[in-house]
Amino acid sequence: MKQVKNNIRKVCRFLCGLFVLLAVFGGYSITVNGNRWFSSSSNVFVRNKKKDVIPGNILDRSGVLLAWNDASENRLYATDENVRKAMVHVVGDKQGNVNNGAESFMSSSLYGFKMNLAERFACFVKGEKRTGDHVYLTLDAALSAYASSLFPAGKAGAMVVTNWKTGEVLTEISLPQYDPQQLTQAARNNPQKPFYNRAVQGLYAPGSTFKIVTAASALENVSDAANRGYQCSGMLQVGDRFITDAGTDLEQGKVVSHGQLTLMRAFQVSCNNTFAQIALNLGDQKLKKTAENFGFNDNFLFRDVVVENSAYPEKNRTEREIAWTGVGQSELTATPLHMCMVAAAVANDGVMMEPFTVQRTVANNGTVRSEGKSRIYRTVMGPETAKVLQEYMRLVVQSGTGTAANIPGIKVCGKTGSAEVDTQENTNAWFVGYLAEESHPYAIAIVVEDAGGGGSVAAPIARQVWQWMLNNGY
């Protein structure tokens, strides 16, 4: 009998332990995934309760109204058409065409579910409908509208601008755009998918912008990487194929060769031959480990930004694929937001900040309900490595492939990319970079689909965006 009682006690303790673990996991999941669950279209409880609440306003960082209800409870969007279009992928629309816009992702705040019992009781006593909290975003509507106007006509693409010190997202635009106030059938039928938020959903080959990661891997795994000499003949044979550099045309007998060069020079001129050699010398596992340190293959779970996971390829790892991965091709994919985080981490001495888009939520009575705060996502490399990459990225803009991003009197750093895509005639044009200015800590990532070279297409856009920011108090 005594043994039976002991066994019962053990079983009870075990079950209690399971309940505690379940409670802890539940609390953690609600904290991390609460908005994801709450905004789900399958949440019938929330969908029904929304009918009894006037949703709060959505505003930009300066208080510009982006979404609100009029006296007839119609949901309206920014009065400026350019702002409406530029902000639509971040704000969303009343039909829910955009995945994870603030209209849906922040619905727990907008529809008053964060109100306490006293606030709910006061509304009940007055016989009034509850009014949800107002959501202030970290984004700048005017900046977003201006940035959108810089993209080549008819081209799809995306741009993200963040504060590399804090992680605040200042711009997150995706093209093509549409007007949430006047949704047309043409927008619904557009083959370029205007409802698709390329800034956080678009998984692109990062092209030569990934050479930031390859260079970091070399610097942290090879003792003499910075001083070692590399030879670029313009054609590096790997298996039965050749790795070539931009401008090479084998059919015309034209081969671009950089000759003897260092890692710094190879980065400056974006030498594919050198970075393919580096990837092969490192081996797939070391390069993969560095990429994963930078967030590739991670499951991104940020507070108020839902972003697709970037991927370092794990199948078909032949020498040819490893070589092309070092160049930023193969099956490697990344979102513009993630590549902006990569550039920002270089600026921030190897510390990658978590991106966030909600500045604060404010109750209808003016009480601040919550405030967005900076969080470190992870340290992706040592500060010594970051310092070297800062120098490399500065040289790219000073006298390399990214000179079109240069701003006189401002320390601009960056990396261009021209990523090949099998289904397109031209390459996707990339630029990632940052202002190396303590008083202007801004990072950027731009991709323009099927547009050509990153140095000629994306870098000038970055320069114009930063110039606008500097002229407007940033």
Q: Which pLDDT score is estimated for 28?
A: 43
Give the integer Cα–Cα distance in Å for 190 and 348: 40
> What is the pTM assigned to this prediction?
0.88
Q: How far apart are CA 245 and CA 207, in angstroms?
A: 12
Q: How far apart, in Å, are the Cα atoms of 387 and each of 228, 338, 351, 390?
A: 18, 20, 12, 5
Specify the pairing of strand 368-371 against strand 376-379: unpaired
In whole angstroms, give the CA distance from residue 340 to residue 433: 7
Which residues are CB-neighbours of 450 under 8 A, at least 6 positions away? 155, 156, 421, 424, 425, 426, 427, 428
Burial level of 469, CB count in 10 A (0-12/13-18/19+)?
Answer: buried
223 burial via Cβ count (<10 Å: 0-12, 13-18, 19+): exposed
Provide the 10 A C-beta neighbour count for residue 256.
Answer: 17
Q: What is the pLDDT of residue 274?
A: 94
**pLDDT at residue 241, as a whole number:** 81
Tokens (6 digits) for 76: 């309206």
CA 175 – CA 157 distance, rounded (Å) = 5
Helical H segments across 224-271, by residue range: 263-269
Q: Give the pLDDT confidence score for residue 112 in this predicted structure.
A: 85
What was the pLDDT predicted at 380?
98
Exposure letters 132-144 (e unless 16+ CB within 10 A, then b): bbbbbbbbbbbbb
pLDDT value at residue 354: 98
The pLDDT value given to residue 4: 55
What residues does 40 pair with on adjacent strands?
Answer: none
**C-alpha to C-alpha distance for 310 and 233, rounded to whole angstroms:** 32
Q: Which residue has the tokens 């956080």?
A: 200
The separation between the first and the last C-alpha atoms of the chain, rounded to the nearest angstrom, is 77
What pLDDT, on a 0 to 100 scale, did the predictor assign at position 127? 64
Contact 372, 163 (CB under 8 A): no
| pLDDT beneath 70: ranges in the chain | 1-12, 15-50, 121, 124, 126-127, 250-253, 423
- List, for residues 93-107, the tens digit of each pLDDT value: 988 899 899 999 998
Beta strands in 108-183 (DSSP E): 130-131, 134-137, 157-163, 169-175
The model's pLDDT over 427-459, given as tens digits with 9 standing for 90+, comes to 999 999 999 999 999 999 999 999 999 999 999
Please tell me the distance from the alpha carbon of residue 322 to that of residue 309, in angstroms, as a whole number.
20
pLDDT reported for residue 250:
67
Is-contact 254 248, C-beta < 8 A? Answer: yes
Structural domains of the chain sorted by starting position, each given as residue range(s) with its CATH number in brackets: 207-355+374-471 (3.40.710.10)
Cα dist from 57 to 53, 119, 134, 362, whole Å: 12, 18, 5, 10
> How far is CA 15 from each of CA 10, 18, 278, 293, rounded to the nearest angstrom?
9, 5, 54, 38
